[in-house]
Structure 1
Amino acid sequence: MAQPQQPDNKNAAEPTSSVPVTESFDKETTLNKDNTLPQPASTKRKLAARDSSPDLNGTSIDRSSSPRAGRPSFSTEGGGSGFSSFVDVSESRVFTPSTSVPSLVDSVRPSGLSMTQRPGAAYDGQDRDNVGNGDEDENDALEEHAATAQAEEGSIIIDSDDVGTDDGYGSDTATNASTSLAESVRDYIYENGRRYHKFREGHYNFPNDDVEQQREDMKHAMVKMLCGQQLFFAPIGNRPQHILDIGTGTGIWAIEMGDLLPSANVLGVDLSPIQPDWVPPNVRFMVDDVESPWLHPRNHFDYVHSRHTVMGIKNWPRLMRRALEHIRPGGWFEMQEVHHFPISTNNTMGPDHPISQYWTLINQGLNNLGVKHFHAVANSGLSNMMRECGFVNVTERVLQIPIGTWPKNKVLKTVGLYWRTILLDGIQAIALGPLTRGCGWSPTEVEMFLIEVRKAYKDNSPLLHMPLHIIYGQKPLDYP
């Protein structure tokens, strides 16, 4: 019998199934004369549909002021959700631009850099020739390859000229959440100036307002930059039929997967109906709690994906068992989780450092609120849970995310700049719930504490980084 093709991953375990592996193919993109990414025809159709769409009162929406102005209407009725309790927010929709961060896109692709397609990387389907500027293209490509290699090997080269304090980040004050569209069709709660989900109130202890959504989209762009534009690492093949995205948030990952794999049905599930209104026709979203019983048929999904949920899931082993039951034999479950406890490359950050104290208190507050797996991602904790639940061919890759601009590699320097921005922009959002709900602090006490934490994040001298753990496992072909 012919052996299945293996993924282009030197660390991946050999799958036992005959699941086809995503193949690498070379498709290159030429930048416009103004050094911007070319706009494919599909995006132009999305923009036209978005700009002409009516709001909930039948009037035209001016979306120029906010990239996340469009929001889905939703119903409390609908059958066959697949979960025990749900709100299906999917309608018949046309394409719209996925929620992107233009500044990040410009930073990822310098002038003249060709983009070569990788497994799991988004591609618009158009062939382009005459790419690049010779040596500059080659140098940029080598720089990008070196960035991912250094991040995975934990051998990030230091830029000795950029290890001091960066005072150019901006204001120390927190940004107020902007007013969202059509508030009357949502059921939210407001606490300490931030907006939280109402469905299964208190299950997720972080806000879902527009400011947080933009931060989550920036986080998505940063992770893609670190991972060489890959959306996934599990060898799921090129024709999966049913994909589930757990904790989909703004839906940006699900939307890009729908664009990448148009033959697949992509379902994104979250506690909040904050996804865009206009999405690919093969993508839909559902409001539900994935820690409730799943009502999907057994052996239904080809691939289940979860990212940035370690601070929200209360019972990881139970979730993994449910995923195993509802993934088809030979299918894959992948988690991409950051261990939110910074590591100092030069061992200069002790337990009394403001950033150490910050994350220790966040862990304590979440633990008091029932989220007890904050450190499970470290020391192969989630990998071991996956094996114990019955998954095979479990593989774990770890990429280091620098905090700040101390790396010498220009891609990692950009990653570090944006990761620090993401952490600073979310410093209040992450702290308010765990510290006020879990530790009994007042909002004023939280704000006073955050002053020193903000200052500490701007200091490059500890050479901080956080590990991103990419873990995936396969359901056995002979699973009963």
Structure 2
Amino acid sequence: MAEENNSQPAQAVNDVSDLLPPHHWAQVAEELGDTDSALGDDSAESTASITSSILQYRNINGRTYHHDIGNAQYCDIEDCTQEWTFASNSQDYIHLRWLVGSIVDWDQLFKEAYRCLKPGGYIESHEALSRMDCDDGTITEKSAMHQWGKFFVEGGKKIGRSFTIVEDGVQKSAMEKAGFIDIEERDFKVPIGGWPKDPKMKEIGRYAQATLEQDIEGYVLFMANTVEGWTKEEVEVYISMLRRELRQGNMHPYYWQKVVWAQKPKE
């Protein structure tokens, strides 16, 4: 588990509208003479200690995917933004995770969950901030890490899907509107990279970095290219700058996660 912190994620964030233009990253790359290994697909030294099996992904049409996990006959695949097919009052527990950027109407989502839960049943929601934070000023305003979350926040505004769910307190608010009671929440810092001194947090950070590095393009390409209008080449230059920062190890990034859970009244 990542580090629990009683303090709240900052509600007032830096202006996300000042997304640096692609020529900024081209200029930085030129100044650094950056055609280095950051553009490659080799695993960074900081992730070398991670069990190699988690890095054995599949490559299909130039994109990287997890191992084949079968035909998913063990679960139902549905669209959670539509009316759920579960019967009313039929479920003991509903778990929602990492839906940020996928939902237009969060109130309706939690209303459906409320309908499907049995009286006394529980719901649990995990979401995360899209931006990278630090506590020591190592992430500067013009760094690639600082710009990371802005792709999603700005892009989300344009496609009508918010990426500021945690900052806006959407999980708790939507649960309250749906009728849930005994709502509780916890905030967690998740490091990115092997910079923490604590061994467990260092391990978590290395996993987080490995996850991000294996498909940075997959995360950001739609927002940067389709929504913001960057070319694929411009996106690749930005990615090389982000990967460089991740591997240098002199920045101390983390992101916030929030878990909120509640109960449907027994009566």
Shared fold (TM-score, shorter chain, > 0.5): yes
Unpaired segments of 5 or more residues in structure 1?
1-147, 156-169, 180-189, 195-210, 215-273
Matched, 1:300 2:93: no
Change (3 A) 1:333 1:275: farther
Q: Distance in 2 between matches of 1:152 and 1:212?
A: 30
State the AA in 2 paired with 1:312. Answer: S
1:137-175: CA deviation from partner (whole Å, max 9, x where unpaired): xxxxxxxxxxx5x811379xxxxxxxxxxxxxx763358
Change (3 A) 1:386 1:460: farther
Change (3 A) 1:392 1:410: same
Q: Distance in 2 between matches of 1:300 and 1:347?
A: 49
User: 1:287 matched to which residue of 2?
Assistant: 77
User: 1:276 matched to which residue of 2?
Assistant: 70
Matched pairs, number: 224
Superposed counterparts of 1:168-317, under 5 Å: 172-174=39-41, 178-179=59-60, 193-194=62-63, 211-213=64-66, 275-277=69-71, 284-317=74-107
State the AA in 2 paired with 1:318. Answer: Q
User: 2:234 matched to which residue of 1?
Assistant: 445
1:294 Cα shift? Answer: 1.6
TM-score (norm 2): 0.75
8 Å CA contact 2:58, 2:66 repeated in 1: no
Q: Residue 472 of structure 1 is aligned with which of 261, 264, 267? A: 261
1:177 Cα shift? Answer: 5.5
For the pair shown, which has the larger CA radius of gyration, 1 or 2? 1
8 Å CA contact 1:275, 1:285 repeated in 2: no
Change (3 A) 1:458 1:285: same
Higher relative contact order (CA 8 A, sep 6+): 2
8 Å CA contact 1:337, 1:468 repeated in 2: yes
Q: Is the partner of 1:441 in helix, strand or coil?
A: coil
Q: Distance in 2 between matches of 1:358 and 1:396?
A: 26
Matched, 1:394 2:178: no
Percent of aligned pairs sharing the same letter = 24
State the AA in 2 paired with 1:416. Answer: G
User: 1:408 matched to which residue of 2?
Assistant: 197
8 Å CA contact 1:306, 1:334 repeated in 2: yes
Q: Distance in 2 between matches of 1:449 and 1:172?
A: 10
Change (3 A) 1:292 1:358: same
Q: Distance in 1 between matches of 2:140 and 2:211?
A: 23
Q: Distance in 2 between matches of 1:172 and 1:317?
A: 42
1:346 Cα shift? Answer: 0.7
Q: Distance in 1 between matches of 2:168 and 2:82?
A: 28
8 Å CA contact 1:307, 1:335 repeated in 2: yes
State the AA in 2 paired with 1:426. Answer: D
User: 1:339 matched to which residue of 2?
Assistant: 129
User: 1:82 matched to which residue of 2?
Assistant: none
1:35-87: CA deviation from partner (whole Å, max 9, x where unpaired): xxxxxxxxxxxxxxxxxxxxxxxxxxxxxxxxxxxxxxxxxxxxxxxxxxxxx
1:375-426: CA deviation from partner (whole Å, max 9, x where unpaired): 1113533222222221111111112111111211111111111111111212
User: 1:153 matched to which residue of 2?
Assistant: 5
User: 1:461 matched to which residue of 2?
Assistant: 250
